[in-house]
Structure 1
Amino acid sequence: MPEIAPRPAAFFDRDGVLNQDVGYAYRPDQIVWVDGAIDAVRRLNRAGYLVFVVTNQSGVARGLYDSGDVEDLHRWMAVRLAEHGATVDDWRYCPYHPDHRPERFAAYADWRKPAPGMLVDLMRRWPVRRAGSFLIGDRDSDMAAAAAAGIAGHHYGGGDLDAFVARLIAAEPAGISGAGGEETGS
């Protein structure tokens, strides 16, 4: 089997970036896509980026829902995206929270943003080229995780996510920019 050439990746936070943050979403009826979210994922697919979702899900540690609920929701989201020709290549979530039974999910402590564990795990498992890769998030913890993983972080403050992504990749048309912790807003 031929080796796959490394490509830049786009990492998305979930709640507040791809879908409206309603607090502890774990069911399809709680998902309201952010304007332009599906188009943004499709745009990145067509531009040759790997696309990933990295999301803290402390609702699992808090006992509000379980890991199966998160995985079911991600499968549902993947189907909705596919209906529009968009694909998330892989999903990561962190069930750990230091204030809620931390021993239960201690193995995932370094996955909880601002730690870079979810990003690093994806970079190990996929042919990710750090140069040109970036994370789009809505919190300081997202920006810190991106910086710790050695990629750019872009703060999404609302609006049309597809237009936001279009501006990002227009500025780096070949996906070859260097890493950093830069922050851009809309």
Structure 2
Amino acid sequence: MTKSVFLDRDGVINKYDKPVNKPEDLELFPWTSQAINQLNQAGYKVFIVTNQGGIESGYFTTTDLEKIHQNLVTTLKEDDAIIDDIEYCPHFKSNCKCRKPKPGMIFKLADKYNIDLKASFMVGDRNSDIIAGNKAKCQTIKLGEEYPAANYSVKNLAEAVSIIKSH
């Protein structure tokens, strides 16, 4: 079985001071590429699991999101940082199994890639990310404000990588 790191997108790998509805709206934090590269080098598969309710709400389309993610993957790859796969939930009001805090996206990737969830991490900036990670039995790292249900709380992804690499 493989160990992995599940990353939320907005607020974890990119700034989120405005909605990301098109590729040019995506602005990575300065440490993102290096942090992901360090995870790759440490033998972790790296996945993005992101709620994208703007699709159901009509702010952008699935095609728009695919362009955003293609741009993201290409930009990271230029810095030798690899995202192994991206799962997103397009729902906002629908009762689905994938929207965090439900762990559906994590379970889907775990099944697809034979992931050992107990040896894996979920990194997010919202409580819903941590709840999803806990439900999936991952170690959890909350960015920003502390959340008691998280295993760890740190300032940003670069600090989270230090914790992950120490395991």
TM-score (norm 2): 0.89
Which deviates more, 12-21 or 124-133? 124-133
Structure 1 contact 114–141 (Cα < 8 Å) conserved: yes
Alignment of 1:55 with 2:55, yes or no, is no
Matches within 5 A, 1:111-126: 111-126=98-113
Deviation track 1:7-62 (CA, whole Å, cap 9, x = no partner) reads: 11000000000001134302222111123111111101010101000000011011
Match of 1:178 in 2: none
Q: Quick one: which of 10, 20, 25 aligns to 1:15?
A: 10
Which stretches of structure 1, 4 residues or longer, exceed 2 Å deviation after superposition?
A: 158-164
Change over 3 Å in CA distance of 1:160–1:148 after alignment to 2: closer
Please name the residue that 2:150 is paired with.
Answer: none
Q: CA 1:169/1:148 → structure 2, altered by over 3 Å: closer, same or farther? A: same
Per-residue displacement from partner, 1:78-102 (whole Å, max 9, x unpaired)?
Answer: 000110111000001101111xxx3
CA contact (8 A) 2:19 2:25 kept: no
Question: Percent of pairs identical after alignment?
Answer: 33
Q: Relative to 1, partners in 2 of residues 1:119 and 1:39: Cα closer, same or farther, differing over 3 Å?
A: same
CA distance in 2, matches of 1:159, 1:134: 16
Question: What residue in structure 2 maps to residue 33 of structure 1?
Answer: 28
Aligned pairs, how many?
A: 158
Structure 1 equivalent of residue 75 of structure 2: 80
1:117 CA displacement: 0.4
Structure label with greater radius of gyration: 1
Q: Deviations over 1:93-130 (max 9, x none)?
A: 101111xxx3xxx6xx1100000000000001002112
Partner in structure 1 of residue 164 of structure 2: 168
Distance 1:137 1:33, change over 3 A: same
Q: Distance in 2 between matches of 1:141 and 1:14?
A: 13
Please give the alpha-carbon distance, in whole angstroms, between the structure 1 residues aligned to 2:19 and 2:90: 12
Do the aligned partners of 1:38 and 1:84 also contact (CA within 8 Å) in 2?
A: yes
Identify unmatched segments of 5+ residues in structure 2.
Answer: 145-153
Structure-1 separation of matches of 2:133 and 2:159: 21
**Per-residue CA distance 1:119-173 (angstroms, 9 max, x = gap):** 0000010021123201100000000000111111110117552233123322x0x
RMSD value, Cα: 1.4
Structure 1 spans left out of the alignment, 5+ residues: 1-5, 173-186
